């Protein structure tokens, strides 16, 4: 089927077309769009076309593009989600490897201790790429930094629209990821603000993209636990560093009790264990 124009996908998203119909549209089945549009007003359609043109121009000004679910560089693992995004907005480079999941997701607390930060950096530097994380403070940032330091591509799934970096102080980190051959990926429209729900939603994308996921440090209610739960549902390999007995490692205890493989704080040994799964996954 012919690919769908980005302008059409953006206009459909602005019209809040249901996700199932959006995926059909992105796959070239435009009957889904025609059925929906039959009940839309002329004014709403005109507004959607206008706003889609603005959104596309904004995306292009940011150096971004639309990647639809049938495109060859759409991340393969995301297609396994029951609620896979019909399209992503992307800044940066994605390999055209549509048959494979790839890389390791490294997740954890926004307020980690120094030991966990060092481990996240060192593990990201030691593993084959890409390193997948979420651009958040703490463990996410440490993972991206470790990958950048070793020249390993790193990908950031974010819960905001491109052009509206969260947290704001990570704009420079975002730019460095793109400049180093990685990418920033979002399922939202350009400039959309972050919400608690959008952060939870992006967690499933990190888990779906990767072959394996590593929890470095989290309390039992930490946001990283959403990514671990998504990885479990998808059958991804799950790892967690040994818990240290503090409440700030309650998420590690929970993940290990739930079947995640234990990683030692010796990062060389940890990297060897995780690497064997990412290379063979």
Which domains are assigned to the chain?
6-61 (no CATH), 104-280 (3.40.50.450)
* Mean of pLDDT values over 261-272: 96
CB atoms within 10 A of CB 46: 10
Parallel/antiparallel/unpaired status of strands 154-157 and 131-133:
parallel
Q: Which residue has the tokens 């234990």?
A: 262
Q: Is 60 a residue whose pLDDT tops 70?
A: yes
* Least-confidence region, from 29-43, 59-73, 229-243: 29-43
3-state SS track over 237-274: EEEEECCCCCHHHHHHHHHHHCCCEEECCCHHHHHHHH
CA 130 to chain centre: 12
**Phi, psi at residue 157, to the nearest 5°?**
-90, 125
The 8-class DSSP code of residue 187 comes to: S
What pLDDT sits at residue 231? 97
Q: Is 1 a residue whose pLDDT tops 50?
A: no
- Give the torsion through C-alpha atoms of 125, 130, 136, 141, to 10 deg: 20
State the average pLDDT for the chain.
92
What pLDDT sits at residue 50? 94
Provide the pLDDT confidence category of residue 23 given band limits of 50, 70 and 90. Answer: very high
Q: Is 236 a residue whose pLDDT tops 70?
A: yes
3-state SS track over 15-65: CCCCHHHHHHHHCCCCHHHHHHHCCCCHHHHHHHHHHHHHHHHHHHHCCEE
What is the rounded distance in angstroms from the CA atom of residue 238 to the CA atom of residue 236? 6
Q: Is 183 a residue whose pLDDT tops 80?
A: yes
Q: Is 9 a residue whose pLDDT tops 50?
A: yes
Angle between helices 250-257 and 224-234 (to 10 degrees): 10
Query: Which residues, including other chains, have CB under 8 Å from residue 6's CB and lie 6 or more apart?
Result: 56, 65, 66, 68, 87
Q: pTM above 0.85?
A: yes
Is residue 258 within 8 A of residue 275, CB to CB? The reply is: no
pLDDT (tens digit per residue) in 85-102: 999 999 999 876 645 678
């Amino acid at each position: 089927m012919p690919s769908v124009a980005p302008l059409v996908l953006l206009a459909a998203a602005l019209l809040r077309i249901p996700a199932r119909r959006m995926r059909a549209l992105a796959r070239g089945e435009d009957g889904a769009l025609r059925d929906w549009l039959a009940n839309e007003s002329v004014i709403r359609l005109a507004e959607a076309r206008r706003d889609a043109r603005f959104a596309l121009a904004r995306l292009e000004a940011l150096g971004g593009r639309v990647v639809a679910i049938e495109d060859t560089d759409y991340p393969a693992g995301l297609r396994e989600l029951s609620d896979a995004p019909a399209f992503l907005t992307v800044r940066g480079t994605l390999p055209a490897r549509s048959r494979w999941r790839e890389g390791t997701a490294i997740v954890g607390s926004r307020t980690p201790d120094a030991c966990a930060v060092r481990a996240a950096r060192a593990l990201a530097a030691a593993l084959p790429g890409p390193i997948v994380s979420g651009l958040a403070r703490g463990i996410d940032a440490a993972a991206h930094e470790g990958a950048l330091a070793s020249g390993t591509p790193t990908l950031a799934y974010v819960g905001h629209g491109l052009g509206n970096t969260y947290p704001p102080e990570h704009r420079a980190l975002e730019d460095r990821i793109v400049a180093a051959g990685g990418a920033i990926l979002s399922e939202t429209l350009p400039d959309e603000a972050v919400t608690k729900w959008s952060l939870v939603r992006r967690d499933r994308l990190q888990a779906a993209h990767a072959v394996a996921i590593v929890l470095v440090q989290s309390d039992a209610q930490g946001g990283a636990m959403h990514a671990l739960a998504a990885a479990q549902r998808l059958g991804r390999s799950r790892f967690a560093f040994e818990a240290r007995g503090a409440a700030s490692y309650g998420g590690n205890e929970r993940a290990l009790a739930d079947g995640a493989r234990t990683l030692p704080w010796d990062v060389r040994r940890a990297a060897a264990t995780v690497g064997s799964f990412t290379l063979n996954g």
